[in-house]
Amino acid sequence: MHEFDRAVVGIGTDVEASILTTSRLLKFAKPVIWAKAISEPHAEILEQLGVHHVIRPEHDMGRRVAHLVRGAMLDYVEFEDNFVMIRTTPPSLAQDRPLEVLQLRSKFDITVVAVKRQGSHWEHTTPQTVLYDDDQIIVQGTKEKAESFSALL
């Protein structure tokens, strides 16, 4: 039999077929399995079976869109353990001075990791980076802290 080290189970809305297929794959004992869940109970069952990565694309996209619609965010990605990265514009209090002077990490518990200037490409920030009102930035931190920072005027 051909050996493999990863498997993806992306069965649409047939929960039973998803669970049975995943269960059979787990018998191989070796592969890392990514499986799509269509509901919270479905995700719980897959996790109980021992699936390494359970994803809920429709649920995650709905949450992402909700964040984009209600705030100043241009993009939003949530990772595990309450960690997010947000694309936004710099609030006025974060403009026209180097990041090392602003001390955003100690004041807001976030980090500005990249900046994109008008007509330019994304660049990593440094302590000497100065942000301007027409920049886009990527902010990382906990969900609460990053969202609060992106909502500042």
pLDDT (tens, 9 = 90+) of the chain, 153 residues, equals 467 788 889 887 899 999 999 998 888 776 788 899 999 899 999 999 989 888 888 877 777 676 666 666 788 888 878 899 999 999 999 999 999 999 999 999 999 999 999 999 999 999 999 999 999 999 999 989 998 898 886
- Name which of 7, 4, 20 is nearest 53 in CA terms: 7
Q: Please count the residues of the chain.
A: 153
**Parallel/antiparallel/unpaired status of strands 75-78 and 110-116:** unpaired
Task: Report pTM.
Answer: 0.65
- Alpha carbon of residue 5 to chain centroid: 25
**Tokens read off for 95:** 């403009």
